[in-house]
Amino acid sequence: MTSAGPLVSCAMRLTVLGGCGAWPTAVQACSGYLVEYAGFRLLIDPGYATLPRLLDHHTVDAVDAVLISHGHPDHCADLNPLLRSRGLSDAPPAALPVYAPHGAVDAVLALDKPSMLAEAYRLHEFKPGDRFDIGPFTTDTWLLPHFVPNAGIRLTSPEAVLAYTGDTGPSPDIPRLAQGADLFLSEATYIHEVPTADAPYLLTARLAGQYASQADTARLMLTHLWPGTAQTAAREVAAAAFRGPLDIATPGLVTDLARGG
């Protein structure tokens, strides 16, 4: 992991805006990840309270596209203030491309009357399983089991691969989307076990470590820990299965990804 510095032109950079599951805390926004490559900035999952953390690094017009894994508000609620801050400014930037599974952002887009933000975005809905390009990134998606349709995401640039689960239960598709990735960003809502009723729809740090090992990823980053989870315990459990570099997503964490790095 590196501290924030000048973006090396060939690097694919991940900046964590937040990684808290369910709701934000005083020190941690919900899911939000900025991925940069070749001057293109892709914001993945603008969850609760991620916009202020984005503003720690960039102005709102610096975002080139948004990609959303699923429609839970801890993954997309701050799309509303992002669009407001762009669309209602004195000099609105170009419409923001927003990629999301069908229907996933209907609720957040309905917070304002349609005409107010209509020129602020262009919605590109997809079906998890689709492959498409966003700027310099080839985007592969998988339908993974969650309470609502969730897209597991594999972003490929010429320099590196980032694999991200969104929110999911166990699935044989997880090691497929993560296979050989330079960074596997995996939800780990719980440490050892998911409560029985939710077990098909969420992961643990234990499973995240096992999937990272199975997929032979270069690094593992745990995210979406339930508020109040002991990070040290989550790390230890994941590290028992995955021997490579391991981090926990916290706001401001910046890492440059490179092939085999």
Residues in contact with Zn ion by the rule CB under 5 A: 72, 167
For Zn ion, which is the closer residue by CB, 67 or 161? 67
34, β-bridge pairs: 15, 43
Give the orientation angle of helix 205-215 with respect to helix 231-239, to 10 degrees.
40
For Zn ion, which is the closer residue by CB, 72 or 235? 72
Report the nearest approach of Zn ion to the CB of residue 139 (Å).
19
Report the nearest approach of Zn ion to the CB of residue 200 (Å).
13
Q: Which amino acid is at 152?
A: G
For Zn ion, which is the closer residue by CB, 99 or 201? 201
Report the nearest approach of Zn ion to the CB of residue 100 (Å).
13
Residues 6 or more apart whose CB falls under 8 angstroms from that of 210 comprise 241, 242
For Zn ion, which is the closer residue by CB, 21 or 175? 21
Report the nearest approach of Zn ion to the CB of residue 48 (Å).
12
Query: Which stretches of the chain are assigned E, i.e. beta strand?
Result: 12-18, 32-37, 40-44, 65-67, 96-101, 121-126, 131-134, 137-144, 150-156, 161-164, 183-187, 220-223, 246-248, 254-257
Report the nearest approach of Zn ion to the CB of residue 70 (Å).
6
For Zn ion, which is the closer residue by CB, 53 or 72? 72
* Size of the chain in residues: 261
User: Count of CB atoms within 10 A of residue 191's CB?
Assistant: 21
Among candidate residues 206, 158, 166, the one with its CA nearest the CA of residue 186: 166
For Zn ion, which is the closer residue by CB, 156 or 168? 168
Report the nearest approach of Zn ion to the CB of residue 168 (Å).
9
**Would you say 21 and 227 are in contact if contact means Cβ atoms under 8 Å apart?**
yes
DSSP 3-state of 151:
strand
